[in-house]
Amino acid sequence: MEFELTQEQQMIYQYGSQLAKTYDRKYWMEKAENREFTHEMWDQMGKDGFLGMMVDTQYGGAGLGMMELALLMEGMSNEGIPLLMLVAGPTMSLAPISSHGTEEQKQKYLPACCAGTKQFCFAITEADAGSNSMKITTMAKSNGEGYKLSGSKTFISGADVADYALVVARTTAFKDVDKKTDGFTLFVVDMKAKGVEIQPIDMSFVMPEVQHSVFFDEVELGPENVIGEVGKGFNILFDCLNPERVILAAMCVGLGRYALDKAVDYASEREVFNGPIGAYQGIQHPLADAKTKIELASLLMRKAAWGIDQGFTEGGDANMAKYAAAEAGIEAVDAALQAHGGNGFTKEYGIFDMYPFMRVFRTAPLNREVILSYIGSHVMGLPKSY
């Protein structure tokens, strides 16, 4: 494995710093506080060719891999401007369509999404199933010619700005399958189709992507809406969920690094007693410890991304990377907050607003406890706990 980035990868990684010259943390926070998506920044990324990183070039993409997409997210997060829609769209929707869609589907959806003129969200989570995705109850029932989709999803990022959703549904109920992984099918659903309703969820933290509950009431779908094989969608989910873990890990390490950089600047200038507070070990050591953990998590994230690009089933590395990055990110923001003292809680310094956002990723999209159980059983070989 090469640790040195290629020139192209360096350019992708540094794109965030270029983007932040126009769309900086202040812009991001204004959008977040108004619950308004960063349309201008998204449009710019589309024009610059950064929304189709894992899509084949013949459909308007860059034809690159998980590593490049993760570097894009990490670089943007280094500047304090992460976007969850990079997870829902380019990572979890466009890449699987590029890999498993028909030629007609690729032509219909990918060029516009790569250009930024159309968007996807991803819908799997259900209120009653939670982390146990095997038990989802959203059903697409065959009517002979097509399907009628009914059910609901929750915590769907950016459902209000998405033109389409990649929906994980069952075409065979859980009680009727031989294996619990059977009976899943992925559908592209037009968010303006009859029978689709979205309702915003009032969250206690702010970000530009609003969370929604989405309801499907006998939404009519045809065979052209199916991605991959009917009933075999669980296999495609690995192309969605493992990259999701990696891209979120990239976001957490980047935002943690951003918080630490702000703490270093502050601690180098703020003088108390006999000099700058950054000279005191009580300030230095927590920041240095957090920095070490951020960089370790970044390495593990890049290893997981590399593995996906090599065609490995990287569930172990992807889950460990997400766990390590979320924990390191939380610790980094907390250390930065402590270093700022009372100023850390003011709007002027912009430190505390990172904490609730970062804390989400200990819980979502897969909570720490389930990830640790996965690592214990699937990586270490311990008996399964669930």
Please check whether residue 325 is in contact with residue 343, taking contact to mean a CB–CB distance below 8 angstroms. no
Residue 5 pLDDT > 90: yes
pLDDT at 85: 97
CA-to-CA dists, residue 208 to 40, 41, 85, 120, angstroms? 12, 11, 9, 16
Q: Where are the beta strands (DSSP E) in the chain?
A: 120-123, 139-142, 147-157, 164-170, 184-190, 196-200, 211-221, 226-227, 271-272, 275-276
- Over residues 66-92, the pLDDT tens digits come to 999 999 999 999 999 999 999 999 999
Which residues neighbour 203 within 8 Å (Cβ) at sequence distance 6 or greater? 210, 211
- Over residues 115-156, the pLDDT tens digits come to 999 999 999 999 998 788 889 999 999 998 899 999 999 999
- Over residues 246-273, the pLDDT tens digits come to 999 999 999 999 999 999 999 999 999 9
> Which CATH architecture describes the domain 235-379?
Up-down Bundle (1.20)
Percent of the chain with pLDDT over 70: 99
pTM of the predicted model, to two decimals? Answer: 0.96
β-strands 139-142, 147-157: how paired? antiparallel
Residue 3 pLDDT > 80: no
pLDDT at 133: 87
- Over residues 146-203, the pLDDT tens digits come to 999 999 999 999 999 999 999 999 999 999 999 989 999 999 999 999 999 999 999 9
User: Could you tell me which CATH class the domain 7-118 is placed in?
Assistant: mainly alpha
Mean pLDDT of the chain: 96
Chain centre distance of CA 43: 19
Q: Right CATH number for 121-231 from 2.40.110.10, 3.30.1600.10, 3.40.50.300, 3.40.430.10?
A: 2.40.110.10
- Over residues 341-382, the pLDDT tens digits come to 999 999 999 999 999 999 999 999 999 999 999 999 999 999
Residue 1 pLDDT > 70: no
d(CA 302, CA 289): 20
Name the residue ranges covered by the structural domains of the chain. 7-118, 121-231, 235-379
